Amino acid sequence: MGTRYAALNERSQQKSQVSNMKDTLNNPVAWEKIQGKDAFKRQLKQEEERLAKITPPSLQEGQRDRCAKRLTVLEKAMVNGDVSKGIPAMPSQKEMWDTPAGSIGKHTAWEKFWKEHSIDEKGNVHKTVDGYGAIFQWKDARRALMPDREEEDPDIANTDTFRPTDGDGSSKFIDYESMTMAPLANLSYQEVDEMFPGREPSMQEMKVRAGELEKKRAELKEQYESVESEESIEAQSTCQAVTSSGKQCKREAKVGTSCGIKSHIAQLGE
């Protein structure tokens, strides 16, 4: 089944589609050019219904509290699991990073289970009839609770945000942003991309990369302007006239851009 509420970018595109169609409907000139007017109106209604369906509702205070509590319940169940009942626990940050043998299969099993199962108000894990499992419920609850945050934080509906740390409570996960912990201390973002081709860079990493790119552009611009300035100075300090053999004069420019020889002065019109 998947999530009920779409990501912000999809909702924005759908909203724009509806808005454009309404503009056409309310513009006499544009509306006159529409051939199938009844079909257009039916499509507009369908697009409006789809927009309403994929948009999380506005929560009132009491609803927000219940939504927040439900998130806590879902996260706890998905993180802990229950080995005795064959319910997989969420692999830790370190496991996902180190990828020891079996870790990928463990994560796949965890994801498959919690896309098909959920937990009720009494704490009982059950298989959902419609395939609307805990992962999808959690994503929808996050988008409903923080509908406007996704633009600045694309990880709002990313389950990695509650992935457990290890042992002492401090994360041993080597994050992509800082690259300060071994074994990635000396790797560039590009090298990490090659190691993990399926990963999505975080907003912070994207900002860092943009800053590095801007810095590189500024350095290249400075180098270009420096070379251009040196060439300009060199060109200005050398006579710009052409000798009888067809080559540029190499004498130093003394009068304007010429070396001072009358024929060269005349040639350059100085």
CB-CB contact of 181 with 174 (8 Å) = yes
At 228 the pLDDT is 59
Give the DSSP letter string of 177-193.
TT--STTSTT--HHHHH
Quick one: which of 24, 55, 48, 56 has its CA closest to 37? 24
* Residue whose pair of structure tokens reads 């697009």 in the numeric block: 47
Give the DSSP letter string of 67-115.
HHHHHHHHHHHHHH-BGGGTBPPPPPHHHHHH--TTHHHHHHHHHHHHH
At 147 the pLDDT is 84
Please state whether the predicted TM-score (pTM) of the whole model is above 0.85.
Answer: no
Phi, psi (5° rounding) for residue 267? -60, -40
Distance of CA 212 to the CA centre of its chain: 16
Per-residue pLDDT of the chain (270 residues; tens, 9 = 90+): 789 999 988 999 999 999 999 999 999 999 999 999 999 999 999 999 999 999 999 998 899 999 999 999 999 999 999 888 889 999 988 888 877 788 888 899 999 999 999 998 888 999 998 899 999 999 999 999 988 888 888 888 999 989 988 644 443 333 444 444 334 445 566 666 665 555 556 656 666 767 777 777 777 777 777 665 555 555 557 777 787 777 788 787 777 777 777 777 777 776
Query: Cα separation of 12 and 151, whole Å?
Result: 10
Per DSSP, helices labelled H in the chain are 8-26, 28-33, 37-54, 61-80, 93-98, 103-116, 134-145, 189-195, 203-237, 262-268
